[in-house]
Amino acid sequence: MNKRVRGSFVAITAIIMALASLGLSQTAADKAPTQEPLKRVLVRAGHLLDVKTGKILDNQAILIEGDKVVSVGPAPGNQATSGAITINLPNATVLPGLIDAHTHLTGDPKNIGYQSLGISVPRDALTGAKNARLTLQAGFTTVRNVGATGYSDVAVRDAINAGDIPGPRMLVSGPALSITGGHCDNNLLPYEYHATSDGAADGIEAVQHKVREIIKYGADLIKICATGGVLSKGDDPQASQYTLEEMKAIVADAHRLGRKVAAHAHGAQGIRWASEAGVDSVEHASYIDDAAIVELKKNGTYLVPTLYLGDWFMENAEKNRVPDFLLVKAKAVMPAARKNVAHAFASGVKVAFGTDAAVYPHGLNAHEFGVMVKLGLTPLQAIQAATVNDADLLGWSDKVGTIEAGKWADIIAVDGDPLKDVTTLEHVKLVMKGGDIVKNEYGK
């Protein structure tokens, strides 16, 4: 090859390589994802309840980008709204999405007692999908699910997070820890079936293993049954189940692994031991006494009362064919809970909002507010229990509980003033979760 031909060959090769490189670059550019601008929504609220201060702020504008609140302020001063979808609520009162710290989304009041034995884990999960939608529609944009069979609540949580089904944000416990034969174990079948619950464990080594196992399979928190219960066979609601040492072991492992602990506890001794062991919340507390109140206040333990269920349960017991062995306990425990929890409210314990929905139909969660107020809380205190207090209990104060810049755009709206009539929260007309409207009875 002579020098001229060789030079032409080199030049042509260089051109081909340059064109190829340009083509590859163009192909890469064509394939590179383009980032779509975040959706912008402007909510113009005639009234906004600041749940921290209790003040009603008029003519407020909430600017949302994507799933987060960007700014909150007086409507005339919030003009950076180019391209935003506007939602006008001139006569409504806007609040942060409500939180329920004690639900059982996979449960149903029709399946109490022996009826529960015919329900499979897949069926529980499907029930959970239905109840997740009902709970969200009722204005509860975040829940803590404290007890479910077969990790069915983990499945529901994951389906919601994947966008497969509508529902609130969920923190889930999976199966509750129980002593053998205690509340939260399966005591309905005779010996020959050898039936035990997923969470049954006895002794320090066994409960430590169970905590780790439950976390392994997806739990966000740990639920323990510190005393007997009402809707179970053969146990005493006032009797302590786990020992103080066992509960300390449970809490130590859970906290070290980044999980909080909720303790079902009706009896006074179990309440005291649970708080002393370091649990983050005590649920129900039907027989709470002065010594237990002192312990909760000393340790900063939240009380999660579940009160409205007593009204609904007793009114519907006959229709739902509640077995006598459950009804006897319910008639003793539920009235005692009203009296003792009212005393705890007056004594200044920290209160978080929870319902035990599943003992009564999901979607009626907000009926709890009215009972809390009847027993001594102000409407604002009851609302704070379901917003800022629950957010603190869940460890999500930076995400939910108030309408503030940087937090998820979880918002509800009602007619009227819930500080004057807290039952207005039973009729939520607009629900927004993460900037997406899931319910709007006001129109655009």
What CATH number corresponds to the domain at position 346?
3.20.20.140
Domain total of the chain:
2
Q: What is the DSSP letter of 97?
A: P
Structure tokens at 382: 């009851």
284 in the same domain as 247: yes
Give the residue from 394, 414, 415, 366 showing the smallest Cα distance to 135: 366
> Can you tell me the distance from the alpha carbon of 203 to that of 193, in angstroms, rounded to the nearest whole number?
23
**228 lies in which domain range?**
98-365
Cα 127 → chain centroid: 17
Q: Does any domain span residue 10?
A: no
Query: Tokens for 76?
Result: 């005339």
pLDDT digits (tens, 9 = 90+) for 260-300: 999 999 999 999 999 999 999 999 999 999 999 999 999 99
Burial class (CB in 10 A: 0-12, 13-18, 19+), 16: exposed
**Which H or E run contains 379?**
helix 379-384
CA distances from 215 to 145, 221, 342 (A): 14, 8, 35
pLDDT at 15: 42
Tell me if 385 is assigned to some domain.
no
Kindly state whether residue 379 falls inside one of the protein's structural domains: no
**Residue 237 included in any domain:** yes
Across residues 306-333, what is the average pLDDT? Answer: 87
Sorted by sequence, the CB contacts under 8 Å of residue 5 that are 6+ apart come out as none
pLDDT digits (tens, 9 = 90+) for 72-115: 999 865 555 667 899 999 999 999 999 999 999 999 988 887 88
Residue 413 sits in the same domain as residue 435: yes
Phi (first) and psi of residue 420, to 5 degrees: -95, -35
Q: How far apart are CA 135 and CA 97, in angstroms?
A: 11
- CA dist 110 and 113 (Å) reads 9
C-alpha 286: how far from its chain's center? Answer: 22
Q: Is residue 216 part of a domain?
A: yes
The residues, ordered by sequence, that sit 6+ positions from 234 with a Cβ below 8 Å of its Cβ are 181, 187
* Cα separation, 335 vs 117, whole angstroms: 28
Report yes or no on 267 lying in a domain. yes
CB atoms within 10 A of CB 321: 11
Residue finishing a domain among 349, 365, 381:
365
Structure tokens at 184: 């939260």
pTM for the full model?
0.90
- 333 or 81, greater pLDDT: 333
pLDDT tens-digit map of 35-65: 677 889 999 999 999 999 999 999 999 999 9
Asked which of 365, 388, 415 is the last residue of a domain, the reply is: 365
At 382, the pLDDT band (50, 70, 90 cuts) reads: very high
Specify which residues 283 forms β-bridges with: 264, 304
118 in a structural domain: yes
